Chains A and B, each alone.
Chain A
Amino acid sequence: MITSGIVETDAAEEFIEEIEKSQDVLPKKIDANPKTVEKGLAKLVLTLIELIRKLLEKQAMRRVEAGSLSDEQIENVGETLMKLENKMEELKEIFGLKDEELNLNLGPLGDLM
């Protein structure tokens, strides 16, 4: 049936795998069901916290790279980031949320993180 729209590849299976991996596997709806509403909100709040946490981590890495952090500062920042990461792991467990779930699809803008 298809005449001119051709697809040529030497690795069909691999491309299928990668294409499927890249597709949105997150549930697009946020449940309005009262039982799950707290999970939906926790997801939202934790997503925002994750965003900020990742921003902070990235900033720290840039400064380590630039050599603008003293030994003591590296120690302190490391401790704080570590605590933050551990806390987030705890919260994710409490609410039964996985890493991939803490993201927001913003339509044409792509995913938030």
Chain B
Amino acid sequence: MKLYLYGIIDSSNQIKETIYGLEGAGVYNIPFCDIGAVVSEIGQPIQEATEGAVLEHQAVVEKLMADFTVLPVRFQTVIDGRDNLLSMMQSYYKDLKDNLERLHNKFEFGIKVIWPAGKVKENIVKAIKSNEQKMSESDASASKRFMKKKFDKYRMDKEFEAKADKFIKVMDIFFSKFTAEKRIEKLKTENLLLDAVYLVEKDKVSNFREAFEHIKSARPDFKYLFSGPWPAYNFVVLSKKSGLLREPEQADLFDKVTQSQTLVGAKII
């Protein structure tokens, strides 16, 4: 029996509400100790992600979020039979339980901010130009001109990033009291200043929203996207990962790569 998995919940009871999932199948909870795996039976595992299937999946997870703490499972996870599901629950039990406890009564919110990168850079150039005397370009050799060009770009990039950091720091100050955890990505593109997700406790949500309104009014020239509440998609941390390397090798390589990323100024997580 193929079981399509939607999420792990902090309950071993049956789901009271009648929920239908993919292929119109009934959604039910398979308990393991004090937690459960929410599934529906599926005939044919889907090869591609269609819009309809994704929305059906998300609708199920959302309904669960109303009554339980949910660890949402990635789309299209199909387990081969009840026995396999239970043994999976057994091997992941501690991880799942830890996550359920940590994420209990907390929701995820997403915030994205767009800023006018072009204008920001223009202002930086103006500020730099006003500070320096003109170098007589005609005298300089090709190498020197090359270096000057590179250096101008270097300074521009550095200042650009510094401005981004400044705004993000301000956001942090507004949010820190109300957010339990966060994951932020700075300057994903030039214009996408911030792509962030925040984990917020249920009773701090209105404070969080208020803080967001303050931030918006501080910089009305930026554009904002607010999404949520979601179940904690971005905050589930599993220690068992599928990977090509063993744990100590993985950690070592991780360090080496993040070091070289810092040196070239690439984004690090």
The answer to A–B direct touch (Cβ < 8 A) is yes
Chain A residues within CB distance 8 Å of chain B: 1-11, 14-15, 18-19, 21-22, 51, 54-55, 57-61, 64-65, 74-79, 81-82, 106, 108-113
Q: Which residues of chain A are near B266, meaning CB under 8 Å?
A: 110-113
Contact B223 A14 (CB under 8 A): yes
Residues of B within 8 A of A60 (CB): 147, 150
Assess the B258–A109 pair: CB atoms within 8 A. yes
Chain A residue at minimal CB-CB distance from B151: A64
Q: Is the CB of B225 within 8 A of A4?
A: no
CB distance from A17 to the nearest CB of B (A): 8
Of the residues A8, A18, A78, A106, contact of B227 by C-beta under 8 Å:
A8
B257 touches A112 (CB 8 A): yes
**Could you write out 15 A-B pairs with CB less than 8 Å apart?**
A4-B62, A4-B66, A5-B230, A11-B224, A15-B114, A19-B112, A21-B192, A22-B189, A22-B195, A61-B150, A64-B154, A75-B141, A78-B142, A78-B144, A110-B269
A residues near B264, Cβ cutoff 8 Å: 51, 54-55, 58, 113
The minimal Cβ–Cβ distance linking A77 to chain B, given in whole angstroms, is 7
Kindly identify which residue among A8, A58, A106 contacts B225, using a CB–CB cutoff of 8 Å.
Answer: A8
Residues of A within 8 Å of B268, CB to CB, are 110
Which residue, of B66, B144, B266, has the highest number of chain A Cβ atoms within 10 A?
Answer: B266
Checking A4, A54, A109 against B229 with a beta-carbon cut-off of 8 angstroms, the contacting residue is: A4
Question: Quick one: CB contact mask for B56-82 with A, threshold 8 Å, 1 for yes?
Answer: 101100100110000000000000000
Contact of A5 among B150, B224, B228 (CB under 8 A): B228
- Alpha-carbon distance A54/B48, docked complex (angstroms): 39
B120 at the A/B interface (Cβ < 8 Å)?
A: no
The answer to whether A7 touches B189 (Cβ under 8 A) is: no
Contact A9 B269 (CB under 8 A): no
A-chain residues with CB within 8 Å of residue B151 when the two chains form the complex: 61, 64-65
Q: Quick one: given A111-B266, A112-B266, are A77 and B258 in contact (CB under 8 Å)?
A: no
Residues of B within 8 A of A51 (CB): 260, 264
Which chain B residue shows the least CB distance to A80? B143
Q: Are A9 and B224 in contact (CB under 8 A)?
A: yes
Who on chain B is nearest to A75 by CB? B143
What per-residue 1/0 map shows which CB atoms of B138-182 lie under 8 Å from chain A?
000111101100110011000000000000000000000000000
Q: Does B25 contact A (CB under 8 A)?
A: no
Are A18 and B269 touching (Cβ within 8 A)?
Answer: no
Contact between chains at B257 and A106 (CB < 8 Å):
yes
Cα distance A64–B65 when bound, in Å? 55
Q: Is the CB of A109 within 8 A of B257?
A: yes
| Residue of chain A at shortest CB distance from B188 | A22
Q: In the complex, which residues of chain A have a beta carbon less than 8 angstroms from the beta carbon of B105?
A: none
Please determine whether B227 and A2 come into contact, CB atoms closer than 8 angstroms: no
Least distance between A19 CB and chain B CB atoms (Å): 8
Q: How far is the CA of A78 from the CA of B257 in the complex (A)?
A: 27
Closest residue on chain A to residue B52 by CB atoms: A1
